[in-house]
Amino acid sequence: ARCQCKIAAVERNNCGYPGISATECKKLGCCFNNSVPDMPWCFTPKPKKVRKSCPTDVRGRRNCGFPGITAKQCERKGCCFNSHPAGVPWCFYHRVVEE
């Protein structure tokens, strides 16, 4: 995502080596912008923004607990809890959506 590379020049964290090419830089998974002299041209992208949500479709539930887990135990693991319907995991992982 290009927006991950919109970083003020002074906030850039160097990701390459002096004289690195745009191609080499991108191969490392980094951003390249040589418009600002005396600043890193190859730099670390911003972390992706993600949103967590509990899947509404019961078929999308990936088990995060064990049979008989309580809501409190499940939430302590950082997972979703829903005791309905029977026969599917009640404690399950979030769906992570990139924004």
Asked whether 18 and 65 are in contact (CB, 8 A), the reply is no
pTM over 0.95: no
Q: Which amino acid is at 92?
A: F
What is the per-residue pLDDT for 47? 86
Domain 50-98: CATH superfamily, name plus number: Spasmolytic Protein, domain 1 (4.10.110.10)
Residue 68 gets the label, from left (phi > 0), alpha (psi -120 to 50) or beta, of left
Q: Residue 92: beta bridge partners? A: 63, 80
Pick the CATH number of 3-43 from 3.40.190.10, 3.40.718.10, 3.10.580.10, 4.10.110.10: 4.10.110.10
Sequential pLDDT tens for the chain (99 residues) = 567 999 999 999 999 898 899 999 999 999 999 998 898 999 999 988 888 899 889 998 999 999 899 999 999 999 999 998 988 999 999 998 877
What is the per-residue pLDDT for 80? 96
